[in-house]
Copies of this chain bind each other. A is one copy, B any other.
Amino acid sequence: IADRDILFLRHDVARLHESELGDLIAALLPEQRIALISLLGDDFDMTALTEVDEAIRLEIFEQIPNDKIAEAIGDLDSDDAVYILEDLDEEDREEILAQLPFTERVRLRRALDYPESSAGRRMQTEFVAVPPFWTVGQTIDYMRNGEDLPERFSLIFVIDPTFKLLGAVDLDKILRTKRQVRIEEIMRDTSYPIPAEMDQEEAAQLFEQYDLLSAAVVDENNRLVGVLTIDDMVDVIHEEADEDIKRLAGVGDEELSDSVVSIARSRLPWLFVNLLTAALGASIIGLFDHSIEKMVALAVLMPIVSAIGGNAGTQTMTVSVRALATRELDIYNASRIIRREAGVGLANGLVLATVMGLVAGLWFGDYQLGCVFAVANIINFLVAALGGILIPLLLDRSGADPAVSSAVFVTALTDVCGFFSFLGIATWWFVLH
């Protein structure tokens, strides 16, 4: 690729879909990326850059003069343009905006004025809207002549002269209706107009719940300002699920292209917090150092209690966190789910503790130790089950994101309880005996 065979490149690369081109760019070395883009020249589809990581995109933009960027951005759909502009620094952004035609500049600036991750940022500002008194025929003729229509659309909005949203008509409805029928007769309610300030995650949930393909975005006066389409929401849904997975493991919004230092720094706080909880567990062990000195078997078995309790707690917690995120779990069924989790914890606790107690008893040739071990495990299973559901619920109720901090609290709880119940019961039992 790097041998500058322009004809080959033009022919092959220009035919790629934007997302394939994005993958290609991400796979290249930094110098090759710039070389590729400058070789392709006007054939380069800027949309591909919306498909690569932020770090790569910013690196590429540093190498390209702002007026070239402005030119390329002028050709993009407004939602892609906003996506690229929002990551640039203030100065570059202003310089690029200044070089765009007036209407385009106003549109983009309005979208950029909405808060980050809001529906207003993700919306497309190009849409098709007609007055209610037009006929189907007029509408079709308008679209046949229309110059500044968006590239793709599946919905026509109906608005009054002040841009207030009155309704919408699906394209298939238009096609099925006779030319002389008036739009207002066939328009339907736009049941779920999305306020531009709404968080994109909430908007995505509306799309998912109501199987929407596109939705009107309105400002505070119910005036139509843009349209959100499902393909943008698919990305949001994916991102949000991804975030949940990573937060549960204490990994931030890192990307594969981030540097060692930035990743190490972003993961460190979580490890530090976990170190504190581990130290808490260790201090519990410290309380019982005399018991351990007398009976080393306790030291051998105690990590098993906390590890299995931690696993059981994580299972319950994962289910709870996801059910909260998808709103399947709410106050109406919380008490039923709590009872159910307690039941599951008790059932699995009894099964596993019996096995564990038998094995431990045989291992150390001490059936009393086996019993103590089994009882401690049953207690820890119950604690794990209740903690696994109650901690996410309480965090959610108090307004915190349960995905972020549940794991720390659940692990701390199962560690402390596991060590305390096992070492505590053992100390009490064997000292008395």
Contact = CB atoms under 8 A, between A and B. Distances in A.
Contacts of A153: 172
Interface stretch (A35-43, A94-102, A116-124, A235-243): A235-243
A149 B171 contact: no
Interface string A162-177: 0000000011101111
A154 B318 CA distance: 38
A149 B332 CA distance: 41
How many protomers of this protein does the assembly include? Answer: 2
A209 interface: yes
A237 to B, nearest CB: 6
A278 interface: yes
A273 to B, nearest CB: 9
Interface string A312-340: 10110111001100101100110001001
A278 B304 contact: yes
Majority SS at the chain A contact face: helix
Contacts of A45: none
A178 B279 CA distance: 75
A347 interface: yes
A168 to B, nearest CB: 13
A347 B261 contact: yes
Nearest to A128: B172
23 contacts: A17-B209, A144-B177, A149-B176, A248-B318, A250-B311, A250-B314, A251-B318, A254-B319, A256-B323, A260-B344, A264-B348, A271-B352, A274-B311, A275-B304, A278-B307, A279-B304, A289-B296, A289-B297, A289-B300, A292-B292, A303-B303, A303-B306, A303-B415
Given A230-B231, A275-B352, 8 more contacts: A19-B210, A213-B230, A237-B241, A260-B347, A271-B315, A278-B308, A285-B299, A299-B299
